[in-house]
Structure 1
C-alpha cells in the first residue's frame, strides 16, 4: 500500500513514496522543463504502520518521514513545505442506483438526468458508509461514471424526452476517505512539514504518462505493486474510475518461495532475475544450491501469473462498464512479472501490442543521477513529483446555503460536488410529492399518485445553475426548496373519463341511459370526490335486458322463476320486444335513437308451470253421473308458492319460488264427482241412495273409468 507526495524547494522537488514496506524520498531539480532525479533515499517501516493505503501508526510513519527528511536536508538544505499524494488504493469504489417514478412527470431535460445521477451517487456513498461504519466516516467524491440508464427496467441509451413508468440510473462512484488525508496531515506535522498541495496517485501518474491528446482515449493504467494492483481508467478527457485488487507481485514471489523452499527475500531477488537471466541460482532454506532455467521457473509460477492477470482484467472490466479498454499501460515493480502483459491481453481480448509496460522512457524530459537504477517502480513516484508541481490539488471553499464547505479540487468541481459535500440529500432537490390514494375500481386495486413536487432552484452566485455547473473557490450556492406537490384529488369523472349517455324510446316512453356508479355500495354522481380506500364500481346498462325492468314489472325478459330452487326460464310468458316488427332479445345492444315496442308478458298459473315442465302426471276418469258425462282429473303433485300452499289456478309472478312435490296416486272415489259438476241436493228429499252400475256404493268407495253413477232420493221432505 502506498501514499505518495512531493515537497517543493525553489526549483527542487522533494517526492515521498509512503509504501507498505518502505518510504522513498526523491529530490528532483527542474531547469527549463527538464526534470533530473538528483537524489533518492529508501527506508523501510519498522512495523505495519501502513495498511490499505491508510496510515495506521502515525508516530511510526512520522519517524520514517523525519529520518528521510533529515538525510536529504544534509545534502539539499532545509525542507519545510510538502505536496503530498493519496494512493489510488486508498480510494473506495461503490456502485449505486436510483429509480424514480416518471409516469406523471417525464424527464424532459438533461438537468433532470443530472439530479437522478446525483441521487445514485449518494446511494453509492450510503452503501459505502454502511459497509464501513465508523463514528467519523466522511468521503470526498472523486468522480463517477454511469453504468446504465433504464426505462421501466430495460436498459436505454438516453432518458431525455422518454416517457414511461420509472427511470433509473446506475453509477460507479469513487470516494476518498477523509481520514486518509487527515492522518497524512498529522504525520507530516509531526515531521515538521506543511502540506502545500495534494494530488492523487492515479491522477498524477496518468497526467505524466498520458499526454492530453491521448486522454480522450479509453485507456487503463495498472500499477502493480507488492501487495496490491491499482487501476485507473481514462475516457473522454478525464479519469472516470479507480479500483484496486489485493493481489500483486507478492503473490508471484510466494509461489516461487513455496515451490523451491526459498526465503522470501531470496525468492524476490530470483523473481527479478527472471526477466534478464536465462537461469537463476538460488539457495533454499536447507542450504542446498540450485541452478534452475528461467523457463522452468516461469512454468512453475504461471498459474499465479494467470490468477493475477485474471483479477486485474476482471476489475478493469467492472470499472469500464463491463467492456475492455482500448489499451492498457502497466507500471510499477510488478510490471516486470514474466508474461503478465501477454496474459492480460488474452484475458481482455486485446492484441498483445495494446498491453505494454511503461518505463521511465515514458517520462519525457527526465534524467537520472549516476547510481540511481532505472526501473518501472520509479515511474509512479517520479510522476507524482512532477504532477504535484504541474497540477497540484488545492483546497477550495464554497458556501452552500450560507454554510462554508471545504473541498479538494480532485477534478473539475461542480455544484453537485458541493451539494454532496454539504450533505444535501437528493430528495431535497425536489419538493415533496403529494400523498397518493389507494382505491378499488371494479374490484381492481389502483393507486392514484399525488402531484410531483417542483424541482428546487439552484443559484450559483445569484444566477440560475444546474448540478453540472463548474464552481471555483469562494462561490456561493443557494438551494431554494421546490414547492411540494398537492395530495391526490379527483372525482369519479376524472378517474373514468367522460360518460356517454344514449336516448331510446320504449312504447313511447323516453329513457336516458347513463352509467351506474357506486362508491362503497352507495349510488353517486360522476362529480363525486373520491377518498382514500374507496371502492368504486361502475357499469353501462347497454343491453336491452339491463333496462327493461325499469319500465314495468310485466315486461321482464326473460320471465324466470325458481322451481325447486332451480332458476327456470318460462319463455312463452316473457314479454316480446320489437323494432320495426322484428323481435329483439335481452342481449340486444341499445343504440341512441332506438324506438322499441313491446307486448307485455302474461303471468302463468301453477298448473301451467307444472304442465309446461311436465312435473308428475295428471290422472283422469270418464264416468256418467245421473246420465251426464263427467271427466274427473287430479294432479299427482302438490305445490308451495313462496312457502304457502297453492293450487293449479294460483298466479305466479317473476322471481317467485315454487316448490313441487309428487304424491302417491290414489283411486278416485264417488265424492270426487261433485268437484267436477254443479249438482246440488234437492231440498224435498228425505233420503238418498248411491249407485254404481246399479249397485249400492258409499261416498268414499272407489270408482273407475266408464262407471255409471247415480244418486236417488225419496220424495218425502227431509226432516
Structure 2
C-alpha cells in the first residue's frame, strides 16, 4: 500500500514543500516546490508575520495540489535556530555531607536545568511554563571550583554542576499552527529540524555516538549535538552561506543575487561566466574562487568549531554538514583542522545518504534537501506529541522530544527539587575553649517519588496520563552531639614522674561544672576541654610548679640582670635533658631535681668573685683561718652575709672593699686566751723568729706566744 506524506520546511528565506511516497519502510520523493519569502516574515526560525508566511505556504501548497490533488495534512518542524540555549551552573554545600548516590547527582542536575529555565523566563519576561526543555547536557562537574569526574564520596566544601540546556518556546509551535490554519492545513506531525536530520542520516544503532550536525543555511548555521541516542544540545552561529556570497560579491563586483547564483554554478560546474556591475565579462573557475573566499571560510569554520566545543565541552567523534551552505569549498577541511579531527571525520551529507529513501531521477539530491526530507520521514516515524501527566495533582503538558522521565516532568511542572529535601535540624551555638562553634543539625532526607503509586526515581520513564507524586523528605533531627564527638578520641597517657605513676586525662567542663565525655552538648553551652600536654601543664595541674620553676631565676646586680643557673630546675626525660615545654609521651620517665636555695655565695660564685679574703696560719700548733670582707652586698639598704638567701628578682648593690694585710695581733680575734690566769712575761715568734704584734703575717706562717 502506497501512502503519500506532505512536509513543509519553513525557513528564514524560503518555504520548501515536498511530497514523499511511503511504501512499507521505504520512501520516494514524488515532487517538491520552493518559494521565497517576499518580506522578512521569518527571523531566526520564529514567525514574525503569520499572514505573510501563510501566503507563501499557500503558494507552495497550491503548486503541489495542481499535480497531486488536495493536500490537507502536513508534517512540519520547529527550526533549530528557534531553540533557546542557556548555560548555567548550580552549587550545593557538601560540608559534613558528601554525595553518595547517583540520585543525589541527578537532583543537582535537575536543579541546574530549572535554574536555566528560570533565567530564560526572566530574560524574556515570561513564565517558565512558556518553554519546553528539549534537552540538556553536562559540561562539567566541579569540586571546590576544580573539574572532577564524579562527586561520589568526594570530600570538599562545594559541589557544582555546569550544564547547557535547550528550550523550545511554546510560541514557536503556536505560530506554526496559526500559519498552517490560515493555509487550510492541519498539522499531522511535528518534529525539530535537527532531530529530523539526525534521525534520517544516522542509523538507530549508531545514535549512541557523539556527533555534531550542522545545517548551514543562508543567514545562520544551526548546530545539534547527539549523544547516547538523543540530541543533547543545540546552538546557532549567526553567519552562514551569505557570508561567502558577500565575499564573492565584494571581490568580483557582483550583485548579491548574481554572486549567489555564481557560487552555486561554480560549485556544481567548476566555473561560471559573469558580468560585473561595470559590464565586464569574466570567467571564474573553482581554483580562482577558493583563495578569494578563504578568509570568510576560515572565519565560518572557526566560529562553528568554537560553538561545537562550547556545546559539547570537547570535539565530537564526527561532524555532518547539511544545508546549501555545506557546499562551500574547503569548509569541511577547515572545520576538521579547528576541531583537530581527521579530514574524513567532517563530511557533507546529501539526501542520497538517507538509507530509507529510494533514488528518483530529476529530483534534488543535494544537502539542502536533507532537512525537508527528514521532516517528512521523521515526523511520521518519530513524531513529537504533547503528553499530559499529573505532578502532585497538577496537570502538566510536555513536548515528547525523547523518552520522557520523571525528571523531565519535574522540570516542566516547575517543582524545585531542592525544596523537597527535608529541612536541616536546628543547630547549637556553643563556646568551645573560648571560641564560638556551630554544631549542625542532621541533614534532612531526600524527597520520595512515586509514579502511579510505585516507588520511582528521577530517571524513571513516564507515559501520558501517569500520576507523579513527590513527597517532601523527613526533616533532620536537631543537633545532638556529645563532648567526645566534638573532641574525638583523646587518649590517656600513662607515665612516671620521680618514680611515681601518673596518667594524663582530659578534663571536661560544661558551664563551669565537671562532666564526663558523654555529656550531651546543649545550645549556648560554654565548654572547656583541657588536657595536659607538656611538663609545665602537668605540674600546674598537680600544683607542683612553684614560681621559681616556672621561669629562670634572676636578680638585678648594680642595675644589670644576672641569670642564675643554679636557680633553675633540672629536668630529665628518659635520661635526656628537657625543659618545661617538653611534651609528655606514653611511658615517659620524668625526673626533676628541685631548684636549690640561692644565696649571696651562689651569686658571687657565678660572677667569679669571692665574698672575703682569707689566709691559713697556725697558732701554737693549731690551724687558724684569718679572713676579711672583700665584697659588700646590700639589699634594701641592709648588708647581707654570704649565707643570706636571695629571692627571684632581688635588686642588689655589690661593692668591692680594699683588703689590708693581716698582722700578728689579728690572730687574737680568732683564738681565745685567758690573760687573767697568766703571770710573767711572754715572747712572740713568727716562723721561730722573734716578732711583734704589728708584724705582717701571710698564708702559711707559723705563729707562737711563749710565756716565761
State the TM-score bracket (shorter-chain normalisation).
0.7 to 0.9
Retained in 2: the 8 A contact 1:115–1:429? no
Note closer, same or farther for the CA distance 1:443–1:57 as it changes in structure 2 (3 Å cut).
farther
Instruction: List per-residue Cα deviations over 1:199-222 (Å, max 9, x = no partner).
Output: 111111111122213323333222
Note closer, same or farther for the CA distance 1:478–1:354 as it changes in structure 2 (3 Å cut).
same
Aligned to 2:598: 604
Rounded Cα–Cα distance in structure 2 between residues aligned with 1:531 and 1:567: 52
Retained in 1: the 8 A contact 2:114–2:414? no
* RMSD, aligned CA: 4.4
Deviation at 1:97, TM superposition (A): 3.4
Give the secondary structure class of the aligned counterpart of 1:560.
coil
Aligned to 1:53: 45
Which TM-score applies when normalising by structure 1? 0.77
Instruction: List per-residue Cα deviations over 1:532-560 (Å, max 9, x = no partner).
Output: 89897755324444323534466963663
Give the secondary structure class of the aligned counterpart of 1:25.
strand
Give the secondary structure class of the aligned counterpart of 2:470.
strand
Retained in 1: the 8 A contact 2:45–2:82? yes
Matched, 1:169 2:172: no
Rounded Cα–Cα distance in structure 1 between residues aligned with 2:543 and 2:514: 20
Rounded Cα–Cα distance in structure 1 between residues aligned with 2:479 and 2:598: 56
Matches within 5 A, 1:27-426: 27-73=19-65, 76-102=68-94, 104-129=96-121, 132-136=123-127, 138-150=130-142, 155-160=147-152, 166-325=158-317, 327-364=318-355, 366=357, 372-426=363-417
Retained in 2: the 8 A contact 1:197–1:388? yes
Determine which of 652, 655, 659 is the counterpart of 2:651.
Answer: 659
Note closer, same or farther for the CA distance 1:435–1:563 as it changes in structure 2 (3 Å cut).
farther
Aligned to 2:663: none
Instruction: List per-residue Cα deviations over 1:162-186 (Å, max 9, x = no partner).
Output: 5666544333332222332233333
Rounded Cα–Cα distance in structure 2 between residues aligned with 1:552 and 1:391: 89
Rounded Cα–Cα distance in structure 1 between residues aligned with 2:371 and 2:195: 11
Give the secondary structure class of the aligned counterpart of 1:12.
strand
Deviation at 1:404, TM superposition (A): 0.8
Retained in 2: the 8 A contact 1:219–1:235? yes
Note closer, same or farther for the CA distance 1:591–1:279 as it changes in structure 2 (3 Å cut).
closer
Rounded Cα–Cα distance in structure 1 between residues aligned with 2:83 and 2:563: 82
Deviates more, 1:332-341 or 1:21-30: 21-30
Instruction: List per-residue Cα deviations over 1:289-348 (Å, max 9, x = no partner).
Output: 2223331122211221122222223333333331231x3222111122122223333333
Note closer, same or farther for the CA distance 1:286–1:598 as it changes in structure 2 (3 Å cut).
closer
Deviation at 1:20, TM superposition (A): 1.3
Rounded Cα–Cα distance in structure 2 between residues aligned with 1:355 and 1:13: 31
Give the secondary structure class of the aligned counterpart of 2:474.
coil
Retained in 2: the 8 A contact 1:615–1:637? no
Determine which of 15, 21, 33 is the counterpart of 2:13.
Answer: 21
Rounded Cα–Cα distance in structure 2 between residues aligned with 1:167 and 1:638: 75
Q: Say how many residue pairs are matched.
A: 651
Determine which of 566, 576, 580 is the counterpart of 1:572.
Answer: 566
Deviation at 1:415, TM superposition (A): 0.3
Deviation at 1:259, TM superposition (A): 1.0
Retained in 2: the 8 A contact 1:616–1:637? no
Retained in 2: the 8 A contact 1:555–1:601? no
Rounded Cα–Cα distance in structure 1 between residues aligned with 2:573 and 2:325: 96
Deviates more, 1:252-261 or 1:191-200: 191-200
Aligned to 1:546: 537
Aligned to 1:712: none
Instruction: List per-residue Cα deviations over 1:333-375 (Å, max 9, x = no partner).
Output: 1122122223333333434333322222123454688875443
Retained in 2: the 8 A contact 1:103–1:166? yes
Deviation at 1:635, TM superposition (A): 5.7
Determine which of 485, 498, 501 is the counterpart of 2:489.
Answer: 498
Deviation at 1:56, TM superposition (A): 2.6
Retained in 1: the 8 A contact 2:574–2:588? no
Query: Structure 2: 5+ residue runs without aligned partners?
Result: 616-623, 660-668, 671-695, 697-708
Note closer, same or farther for the CA distance 1:462–1:53 as it changes in structure 2 (3 Å cut).
same
Retained in 2: the 8 A contact 1:559–1:573? no
Rounded Cα–Cα distance in structure 1 between residues aligned with 2:447 and 2:524: 32
Give the secondary structure class of the aligned counterpart of 1:314.
helix
